[in-house]
Amino acid sequence: MIRPALPYLLAAVLAGLGVYGILARRHAVLVLIGVELVLGAAGLLLVTVAQTGAGGDPGAAVLTLFVITIAAAEVVLALAIFLALFRARGHVDLHAELDDRAEGEVGGRA
């Protein structure tokens, strides 16, 4: 058996950093890193619960595999969206206003 205090503390720190990254950052890729930190904290918490649990239920380990799979799919989809956003706008700043462009322009550049 492991002592759960350190993994719980690490999961809390990862989740806190992830939430800060989601709420305080303007760049879309940095927000994505924040989301990944939160998902990593959730995976660590699930593995810790599975390891320290007395019942020996493999449900937490299976759920951890689902979290890892969803995180990988989320990264691929988000990076594809960010690439399309960068090609259309020229930046991936989430707080910038959408500018009106003429219909003949491709990619927003003259």
CA distance 52 to 47: 9
Per 3-state DSSP, the chain is made up of helix, strand and coil in percentages (nearest 5) of: 70, 5, 25
**Looking at the domain covering 5-89, what would its CATH class be?**
mainly alpha
CA distance 83 to 79: 6
Q: Tens place of pLDDT for every residue, the chain, 110 residues?
A: 667 899 999 999 999 999 999 999 888 888 899 999 999 999 998 888 888 876 667 787 788 899 899 999 999 999 998 898 888 888 887 777 765 454 445 555 54
